[in-house]
Structures are given as structure tokens and as C-alpha cells.
Amino acid sequence: MIEGKTVLTGVKPTGKPHLGNYLGAIKPTIEMGKAAKRHIMFIADYHAINAQKDAEILNKEIKEIACVYLAAGLDPKKSIFYRQSDIPEIFEITTILTAFTPKGFMNKAHAYKAAVDKNVAAGKPNDDGINMGLYTYPVLMAADILTFDTDIVPVGKDQIQHVEIARDIAGAINAYYGKDVLVQPNYVADENIAVIPGLDGRKMSKSYGNVIPMYEDDKTLKKAVFAIKTDSKPIEEPKNPEEVLVYEVYKTIAPADKVAEMADGLRNGKLGYGHVKNMLLDAIIEKTAQEREVYNYYMAHFDEVEQVLAEGAEKARAIAKQTLKRLKNTVFGF
């Protein structure tokens, strides 16, 4: 399905990723990219400014996300890896796309609707605090995708609608000119990816403040793991593993034999919550310690990352220029 295709993913720099992001998005994206003919991965920094106006924070979050992807195994020799803001053609293409985008699409877009719903619930005017960047977010995202003749966009469920909008905009342009000017993308939403529970049992999410952070030192990781909710059953009391949150998280990260070992220990009253938390901590450290070193190295040598991103931008611009030329030629006749 992926073989022979151009696969593209964007990631918003919105704070250091957590274990849920890592297992649910970062690792699967990198794996999928390996099978693609062309894999494109970018940091969606222009998308981030809709919500984050503090340059210092933004800069830090862009750095962190770049280093996380490289540490997690993104190979910049194989994948084209760049910052969105380094590709000016995307923004020219955005302007062309707006002329073919019905305003009604934006009114229906989930991110905008969710922001309006929040305002209504709080008794505020519908559009309170909503900027045009958020409102037209799907057009910029369509440009991100269409600029690179993308076949497939791997997404979480919340992003499906955005890819459909990109597909519709490309379809409208192709229909208007009666030729295939732009490639119409498809999304893949992997149903098999587990939702990682957070410290309180809800989905692990930055917005719930219930996360196990990535690439932190052992002490910080330990603090998070030991904050996972448990009841007060003593060690010897048999426990149903499916009701133990630590076990639910462990399942997503540990090898099958170790998972079975934890399940048995809980059922037989041989393992208490302290034991299983230590097992989880060890599993996280084992899985990420090496990557954490690479992450720390890149954070301390960001000039090397800048070099990687500059090379990625050069490759990306070569493609973007061609698409822009094709579009301008179609739209203006030159």
C-alpha cells in the first residue's frame, strides 16, 4: 500500500512529546516512512503560531521536536526532513488554493468548530479569540500536502477531515482546468495503534496533564511512573491485570514474555504496585535510553540539526518550485 508512494507527515511543535505521542505517532510514522518510495516529514511551525506567540517557547519546541524525530530514528538521508517555514513556495501555493476553497469548508472544519463550541459553552461570542490562522488552517495544511504531490498522509482520526479537504481542493482545481494539475491525496488512519492511557487512566494527553514525558532523566521518569493511579490492594491480594493501569501501559511498551510475566505476578499475588511500577520504569528506560542520549546530543549540538534541516529544505524546495511553476502556468498561463 505504501510501496511506490509519496508519504508525507507534518508535526506541530507543541511541547516535548510524551509516551503516547511517541508510541502512537512518532514511531509508526518513522516505520511507515521506511517503506515509502519518497518519505517527507516536516515541522509545521507556521501552524503553531496560531496558538503560540512566544518566540522563545516556539523556538524551544521546534528544536525539541526536530531532535526527538532524529533520536527516534528518522533517517534524513532517506526522508526529506525540513521546517515548513523554510519553504516559501508553500505559502504562495496556499494563496492560489484559497481561490478554489469554498468558505463553507472552513466553517465546517473540526478545529474551528471545536473552538466555537468552547466559546459558546463559556458564554463568549462565537469567534472570540479565534484568529484567521486557525480558521484557514485546512488551506495551509492542504498546501503542505499538495505541494509535494503526496499520495498518502498517515494521520490520527482528528486529522482525517483535513486530508479530505486537501483532496477536495485538488479535485476542484483539476476539474476546473480539466487536467490533473495536483495529485489527490489519501489518508491512512491506523486502527491498530493502541491509545496509551495516561497517569489517571484517561488517554495520555498534554491537555490532561497526565503524561509520561519522553527522553527525560531517570528521576523525572520515575516520578511520572510512580504517579500512575492504583488502588490500595496489598501485594498478596490477587489482582486482575486488566484492571491495573500500570499493566495497561506496560502492555504497550514491553515484550510479550515480560507482559505475561507481569500478568501472572499480579494474578498470583506475587507482584505489588511498587514492583510493577519498577518493571514499567525499566521497560521505558530500556526502550528509550539509547535514543535519549542521541536526543541530548542533538539538543547540545543543534547546529548539526540545522544542517540536516537546511539540506532537507533544499530537497523540498526543488519539488515545491516545480509544483508552484505548474500551478502558476495553469492559473496565469505563464
Is residue 203 close enough to count as binding ligand ADP by CB under 6 A?
A: yes
- Write down the least CB distance from residue 16 to ligand ADP, Å: 10
Is residue 24 close enough to count as binding ligand ADP by CB under 6 A?
A: yes
Q: Which residues of 212-236 are buried (b: 16+ CB within 10 A; e: fewer)?
A: bbbbbeeeebbebbbebebeeeeee
Is residue 10 close enough to count as binding ligand TRP by CB under 6 A?
A: yes
**What are the angstrom distances between the C-alpha of 19 and each of 4, 146, 214?**
31, 30, 6
Q: What are phi and psi of 58, to 5 degrees?
A: -55, -45
Contact 105, 161 (CB under 8 A): no
Q: What are phi and psi of 131, to 5 degrees?
A: -95, 170
Segment contacting ligand TRP (CB under 6 A): 8-16, 73-81, 169-177, 301-309? 8-16
Contact 7, 38 (CB under 8 A): yes
Is residue 156 close enough to count as binding ligand ADP by CB under 6 A?
A: yes
144-203 residues in contact with ligand TRP (CB under 6 A) are: 144-145, 153, 159, 162
Q: How many CB atoms sit inside 10 A of residue 251's CB?
A: 18
Question: Residue 263 binds which one of ligand ADP, ligand TRP, none, with CB within 5 to 8 A depending on kind?
Answer: none
Is residue 271 close enough to count as binding ligand ADP by CB under 6 A?
A: no
Segment contacting ligand TRP (CB under 6 A): 2-10, 201-209, 259-267, 302-310? 2-10
CA distance 31 to 7: 11
Q: Of 137 and 250, which CB lies nearer to ligand TRP in the complex structure? A: 137
Which parts of this chain interact with ligand ADP (CB under 6 A)?
14, 20-21, 24-25, 156, 195-196, 203-207
Which parts of this chain interact with ligand TRP (CB under 6 A)?
8-10, 12, 44, 47, 141, 144-145, 153, 159, 162
